A and B are shown apart, each in its own frame.
Chain A
Amino acid sequence: DADVTQTPRNRITKTGKRIMLECSQTKGHDRMYWYRQDPGLGLRLIYYSFDVKDINKGEISDGYSVSRQAQAKFSLSLESAIPNQTALYFCATGGDNTGELFFGEGSRLTVL
Chain B
Amino acid sequence: GIQVEQSPPDLILQEGANSTLRCNFSDSVNNLQWFHQNPWGQLINLFYIPSGTKQNGRLSATTVATERYSLLYISSSQTTDSGVYFCAVEVPGGGADGLTFGKGTHLIIQP
A residues lining the B interface (CB < 8 Å): 31, 33, 35, 40-45, 48, 50, 56, 58, 88, 90, 92, 94, 98-103, 105-106, 108
By DSSP majority rule, is chain B's interface helix, strand, loop, or mixed?
mixed
State the CA gap A105–B86 with chains docked (Å): 15
Count A/B pairs, Cβ under 8 Å. Answer: 59
CB distance from B102 to the nearest CB of A (A): 6
Can you list 21 pairs linking A and B with CB atoms under 8 Å apart?
A: A40-B103, A41-B103, A42-B104, A43-B88, A43-B101, A45-B97, A48-B97, A48-B98, A56-B97, A58-B98, A98-B48, A99-B90, A99-B99, A100-B45, A101-B98, A101-B99, A102-B45, A103-B35, A105-B42, A106-B41, A106-B43
Given contact pairs A45-B98, A58-B97, A99-B31, a sample of 10 additional A-B residue pairs in the complex whose CB atoms are under 8 Å apart: A31-B98, A41-B103, A43-B86, A48-B96, A58-B98, A99-B99, A102-B45, A103-B43, A105-B42, A106-B41
Which B residues touch A33, using CB under 8 A? 98
CB distance from B66 to the nearest CB of A (A): 18
Contact indicator B98/A92 (Cβ below 8 Å): yes
B residues lining the A interface (CB < 8 Å): 30-31, 33, 35, 41-43, 45, 48, 50, 86, 88, 90, 95-99, 101-104
State the CA gap A41–B9 with chains docked (Å): 12
Q: In the complex, what residue of chain B is closest to A34 when comparing beta carbons? A: B98
By DSSP majority rule, is chain A's interface helix, strand, loop, or mixed?
strand
State the CA gap A44–B42 with chains docked (Å): 16
State the CA gap A101–B33 with chains docked (Å): 8
Contact indicator B30/A99 (Cβ below 8 Å): yes
Which A residues touch B98, using CB under 8 A? 31, 33, 35, 45, 48, 58, 92, 94, 101
- Given the interface contacts A42-B103, A42-B104, A43-B101, does A99 sit within 8 Å of B95 by beta carbon? yes
Contact indicator A98/B97 (Cβ below 8 Å): no
